[in-house]
Amino acid sequence: MAKLGVNIDHIATLRQARRGQEPEPVTAAALAEMAGADGITIHLREDRRHIQDRDLRLLRETARTRINLEMAPTQEMVKIALDIKPDMVTFVPEKREELTTEGGLEVKLAKEDLGKYIRLLHEGEILVSLFIDPDIDQVKATHKAGADYIEIHTGRYAEARNKREEDREFNDIFNTVKIASKLHLGINAGHGLDYWNIKRLLQIDEIEEFNIGHSIIARAVMVGMERAVKDMVEVIKTGVSKNF
């Protein structure tokens, strides 16, 4: 069965709206773990719009599962990762003006710089994943750069407006996964996934983990963090979405 990584960035977004102390992202992470999450994902952005450095430090001290740190491929962020030692770093593209990560890394054009950062993180015994669009050339470039994993950007699939678009995006993901598997890369997936659209992707056995944030946090506002996470774990386990 695929694993679930819960992204808690939106808990921090709500806190930062008032620059206060609540809600506490680390508490949300603990509740997610108790509800069955296999890991916690956070994105420490360069502008610190939601997750703060103290959140990362506290999470490293308290987490009982795995920490996946999403971050831009920069010297500053690599230095932070080597100090905190998350279980995995996922390099993602980052633009100040975007609401959320809009697409995958252009690995082919940044292969040398990415390779340098990957080697530094490997020296620190940290696994490295690259967040990429479902594109075979990007997978091959990821492999050449020396990363351990890919995380497939599932945004276009999640936002498909009709069955034809969904089929096309699903096929792109499927073909990307098969190539990555042949290259012995680990495979994660995420972005825009919810309790319904994830079901089709569960058919792809090679996907090891789904990283999901917004839909879980949105449901948690209504029913609580533990219930929202348990419901997603159940969907991943059974392939059935309840009538929420």
Q: Provide the CATH number for the domain around residue 174.
A: 3.20.20.70
Please report the pLDDT score of residue 241 as a whole number: 75
Residue 190 within a domain: yes
Answer whether residue 172 is part of any domain.
yes
The neighbouring-strand residues paired with 68 are 41, 88
In a domain, 29, yes or no: no
Alpha carbon separation from 33 to 128, 184, 221 (Å, rounded) = 22, 28, 17
Q: How far is CA 25 from CA 15, 45, 189, 217, in A?
A: 8, 15, 22, 11
Residues labelled as active-site residues:
43, 70, 191
Residue 243's pLDDT is 62
- The verdict on residue 227 lying in a domain is yes
Query: Quick check: is 3 in a domain?
Result: no
In a domain, 112, yes or no: yes
- The whole domain housing 79 covers 72-238
pLDDT at 100: 56
Is cis: bond before 25, omega within 30 of 0? no
The pLDDT profile of the chain, 244 residues, written as one tens digit per residue, is 999 999 999 999 999 999 999 999 999 999 999 999 999 999 999 999 999 999 999 999 999 999 999 999 999 999 999 999 999 999 999 865 555 556 899 999 999 999 999 999 999 999 999 999 999 999 999 999 999 999 999 999 999 999 999 999 999 999 999 999 999 999 999 999 999 999 999 999 999 999 999 999 999 999 999 999 999 999 999 998 766 6
Would you say residue 133 lies in a domain? yes
* Cβ burial, residue 226 (10 Å; 0-12/13-18/19+): middle
Q: What's the pLDDT at 103? A: 81
> pLDDT of 93-148, one tens digit each?
986 555 555 689 999 999 999 999 999 999 999 999 999 999 999 999 999 999 99
Give the tokens for residue 13.
């977004």
Whether 25 is covered by a domain: the verdict is no
Domain count, the chain: 1
DSSP class of residue 241? Answer: -
